[in-house]
Structure 1
Amino acid sequence: MKTLEIPTFECETGNYHTFCPISCVAWLYQKIEDSSFLVVGTKTRGYFLQNALGVTIFAEPRYAMAEPEEGDISAQLNDQKELERIRLRIKSDRNPSVIIWIGTCTTEIVKMDLEGIAPKLEKQIGVPIVVARANGLDHAFTQGEDTALAAMTHRCPECNPRITHQQEEDVAENVVADVDRSNKFLGGKGKLNRCNSVLFGSLPSSVASQLNLELKRQSVPVSGWLPSQKYNELPALGESVYVCGVNPFLSRTATTSMRRRKCQLVGAPFPIGPDGTRAWIEKICSVFDVKPDGLEERENQIWKILSDYLEVVTGKSVFFMGDNLLEISMARFLIRCGMVVYEVGIPYMDRRYQAAELLLLRHTCKKMKKPMPRIVEKPDNYSQVQRMHELQPDLAITGMAHANPLEARDIDTKWSVEFTFAQIHGFVNARDALELVTRPLRRRSDSSLGCRSLSKQTLDI
């Protein structure tokens, strides 16, 4: 017999109704400052990236397109020579520290051997080439970042097992290790730095600094981030390193770091919302045998700051159609805020990687006395629309393609892609996450007040 505390998992036959995963270039090229991206695909992919990047196209972002023609598709041309020509031009124009090839659906269909070509060109031009296949045949929207970071995991230097004793404040200051030619990892003061904790996931520098500071308050050292802002500052990985993700769509990166680099994964909920951030920090502290200090007070303080938003969402219902793989974490956070989540659609979910998040979701539903949402992997959108018609949720968080049709059915919507680009991680940014959620609810409330006011004026007349 099913209970409210036990998740109900279902899998439908729907396709990935999401953005193309090559859109990860839009935020990764800004995060890895000395990188250059080459997207290998048709003109359609180029048009899509221009739209995804928006006006920044006029700022000449560090990416280029290699567009196969009919001759390439029929295997009549030499792929290696053409890619070599583009690579030499990129090196001449940009002189990047690393070149990242993004393989699209086209490269999959014509079986282009990017992994075989890359080492040869890397040796010729003297610039590292990382191959990441981010095609929409196999991956959902945000999994493009996952494939890119998993590929970069192989390029991280080996952790030096020799650790010297040094003061804790020195360890905390050396957030990113510098790599010299002898592969020794030196801190900012010339001392061998600890290689014991690495965080992975692409976040804005300000958000990454906030999370570093939260861990520093608990005396937990952070050796570095994947990705790093500079390619030659990639964190060291090895058997003595604990790795922990900040996003639920990075399961491939987590698996690669464990299987290929022998790292130890910290299975924690993700730092989204005050509850998730506290659980994330507590889990990391437990790994390092550190007793958390002041986290409960810190979380309660943030909930007090969010009180005005909580008044808007308490008692409201929400339906996730599934797009960016942040759905489980966002659903857990919104339930903690007092909302009812009818269904959580998600394109793909690694239950092992999200095990801690699912457990926290169960505890949150029990604590808030809310029903456990239905979790649907690869949802069929037609069936979802029928279910929404029956449930009549106050809000639907969906991809852009379905927003207007749902609005026409009088269902308020919020684009899920906005949560990908917004700053929603950590204690401080919980307010920004709720700002996105409450905006359509407040808009409807203001509209209703306006209508009632107009009716009153008519009666007075």
Structure 2
Amino acid sequence: MTVLNESGISDVLPPLHAVNGLANRMPGALVLLLGLRSEAFVAQSLVYPAQAGYLPQPRSPRVVYLVLDPEEPPEGGYIASRIVEAAAGFRGLEAVFVVSGWSARAVGVDAAFEARIAERRLEIPVALLDPHGPEGAPGVLSTDLEDRISASLVRFAPERTSGLFAVAAPEESRKSGRSEKRRGGLFGGLLERNRRDPDGDLRGSPVVLLGGFGSPFSARELAAELGRAGVRVAGTVPADGVGELPEIGEGTVVGLLDANLPEARRAAEERGAEVVETLVPVGVDGTARFVQDVSAAAGPASSEVGKARNVWHNLQHLRNRVRGKRVFFAGDTGLELPLARFLADAGAVVLEVGMPRFDRRRLSEELQALGPDVDVVAAPDWRGQMERVEKKRPDLVVASAGLYGPLVARGHLCRTSSELTRLGVHGYEGARRVLETISRTFERAEELDSSLNI
């Protein structure tokens, strides 16, 4: 395997594109963007486009924009008052997330101070999120904002002790008004059934699934697979609401649905939770390895060899459609390496995997599973990617948003990486959805070529 670092300017969506998705994912939260007019424009413009079979993601009414004037910096406390005013227009708020980066600092706004004042006035959690990359980490991922908000949610969650009882995180329990009905919603019934065995025994460590903002239904499917393996799934982060967050702390096992969540991982480890080092649960073998390693860490070990063999057998007709196809990854979501590993397992020939950010230590398991015959390019330069695509002429390019249009115009068959991740790529069902989508892509291209007698 060759790992190159081009130190280029990668073509990635800015993290602000996730603002609307985060608000839609958490019904009880208000997302407030504090920045310049250009940032508000970016956040409103970069909603997900419509695609075949899917409705476009709507703009959330729970996203509020506070536009700063660089010529007239606001006085201290003014932003906090505006946050309180914005929150007063919504009922049942459980938390406020203030997205504020370098532009607010440049104008002279102490966003952390304003958030603390607003929190005292509102008496609900107010978290400050920096949408830019973590300190010292090269490159920017479109999912960086998801990492920040996941870390905040981990800190909002009640803290679990090594015993059978959990204590609420300081102030958060009182602020968010948790009650006995907190286990309802999308995951509630399933997770309650996984919480104990038929005899009511609470042996084994509870498991929390961390990540998966773009595909909550695939997290639910993965929770069902863990439950089948005898694992107690306590909940997910994010949950359907701040009041439904699971206990996290000593004795909790955390399974990451995305390797690019450094701050969320750190927040869980600071609580004393055990974060399992394993493959991302993308693809058949990745899901089987994830279930085995998480179940081993939680207590009851489980073998997924037979399950994985059956799933591969049922996917044989889809594997036949992708076998031998040459695929080039130039995406920006951070899940390109697990997706490439899965397609290589399915029989495709992966030519290159471009990754805006590359952490060899965190991705060592993925690199080993991918195999030695694939080139990995860290911080790829978009010009170099275009040249290599033109030279190698792959059958399919999994492209970033900026490269999609130019590559299609040059006659390349493309899908965007965000399209695949929004399918719900985690778990065995996610593997089926990915192969079905790619198979349909090839079929439609062949039908078009046939109709044009190409």
Moved more, 29-38 or 87-96: 87-96
Q: Percent identity?
A: 25
2:159 is paired with a residue whose SS is coil
Q: Deviations over 1:335-388 (max 9, x none)?
A: 0111111111001122222222222223xxxxxxxx521111110111122222
Moved more, 440-449 or 381-390: 440-449
Distance 2:311 2:44 in 1: 38
Alignment-mate amino acid for residue 279 of structure 1? R
Go from structure 1 to structure 2 and tell me whether the alpha carbon gap of 1:445 and 1:255 turns closer, same or farther (over 3 Å shift). Answer: same
Among 238, 242, 246, the residue aligned to 1:231: 242
Distance 1:29 1:236 in 2: 23
Go from structure 1 to structure 2 and tell me whether the alpha carbon gap of 1:322 and 1:59 turns closer, same or farther (over 3 Å shift). Answer: closer
Match of 1:246 in 2: 257
Match of 1:306 in 2: 315
Match of 2:114 in 1: 117
Q: TM-score, normalised by structure 2?
A: 0.84
Distance 1:408 1:115 in 2: 46
**Residue pairs, 1:12-91, within 5 angstroms:** 12-53=6-47, 60-72=60-72, 75=73, 77-78=74-75, 80-91=77-88
Match of 1:257 in 2: 268
Instruction: Give, in angstroms, the shift of residue 391 of structure 1.
Output: 1.5
Contact 1:395 1:413 (8 Å CA) reproduced: yes
Alignment-mate amino acid for residue 322 of structure 1? G
Alignment-mate amino acid for residue 82 of structure 1? I
Match of 2:186 in 1: none
Distance 2:115 2:319 in 1: 51
Instruction: Give, in angstroms, the shift of residue 436 of structure 1.
Output: 2.9
Instruction: Give, in angstroms, the shift of residue 321 of structure 1.
Output: 1.4
Query: Does residue 271 in structure 1 map to residue 281 in structure 2?
Result: yes
Match of 1:368 in 2: none
2:429 is paired with a residue whose SS is coil
Alignment-mate amino acid for residue 67 of structure 2? E
Contact 1:88 1:125 (8 Å CA) reproduced: no
Contact 1:342 1:374 (8 Å CA) reproduced: yes
Q: Deviations over 1:39-89 (max 9, x none)?
A: 1122333333333346878775311111112334xx3x2253134223323
Moved more, 278-287 or 97-106: 97-106
**Residue pairs, 1:210-359, within 5 angstroms:** 210-258=221-269, 260-293=270-303, 295-359=304-368
Contact 1:11 1:379 (8 Å CA) reproduced: yes
Distance 1:298 1:49 in 2: 42
Gaps of 5+ in 2: 49-54, 166-171, 184-191
Instruction: Give, in angstroms, the shift of residue 245 of structure 1.
Output: 0.4
Alignment-mate amino acid for residue 336 of structure 1? D
Moved more, 113-122 or 437-446: 437-446
Q: Deviations over 1:17-50 (max 9, x none)?
A: 2111022223222222211110112233333333
Distance 1:348 1:297 in 2: 35
1:154 is paired with a residue whose SS is helix
Q: TM-score, normalised by structure 1?
A: 0.83
Q: RMSD between aligned alpha carbons? A: 3.1
Distance 1:316 1:56 in 2: 30
Distance 1:192 1:33 in 2: 33
**Residue pairs, 1:372-391, within 5 angstroms:** 372-391=373-392
Match of 1:140 in 2: 141
Instruction: Give, in angstroms, the shift of residue 399 of structure 1.
Output: 1.2
Contact 2:217 2:424 (8 Å CA) reproduced: no
Distance 1:140 1:108 in 2: 21
Go from structure 1 to structure 2 and tell me whether the alpha carbon gap of 1:60 and 1:329 turns closer, same or farther (over 3 Å shift). Answer: closer
Among 117, 121, 126, the residue aligned to 1:129: 126
Alignment-mate amino acid for residue 449 of structure 2? S
Match of 1:3 in 2: none
Contact 1:156 1:237 (8 Å CA) reproduced: yes
Distance 2:122 2:354 in 1: 45
Distance 2:376 2:76 in 1: 43
Distance 1:69 1:78 in 2: 12
Match of 2:189 in 1: none
Moved more, 127-136 or 32-41: 127-136
Instruction: Give, in angstroms, the shift of residue 105 of structure 1.
Output: 4.6
Alignment-mate amino acid for residue 311 of structure 1? N
Go from structure 1 to structure 2 and tell me whether the alpha carbon gap of 1:397 and 1:56 turns closer, same or farther (over 3 Å shift). Answer: closer
Give the number of aligned pairs: 421
Among 202, 207, 214, the residue aligned to 1:197: 207
Query: Does residue 92 in structure 1 map to residue 113 in structure 2?
Result: no
Contact 2:205 2:298 (8 Å CA) reproduced: no
Go from structure 1 to structure 2 and tell me whether the alpha carbon gap of 1:58 and 1:352 turns closer, same or farther (over 3 Å shift). Answer: closer
Contact 1:195 1:223 (8 Å CA) reproduced: no
Instruction: Give, in angstroms, the shift of residue 290 of structure 1.
Output: 2.4
Match of 1:423 in 2: 424
Alignment-mate amino acid for residue 109 of structure 2? M
Contact 2:211 2:238 (8 Å CA) reproduced: yes
Instruction: Give, in angstroms, the shift of residue 425 of structure 1.
Output: 1.1
Match of 1:443 in 2: 444
Q: Deviations over 1:297-339 (max 9, x none)?
A: 3223322332332222111111111311111001000101111
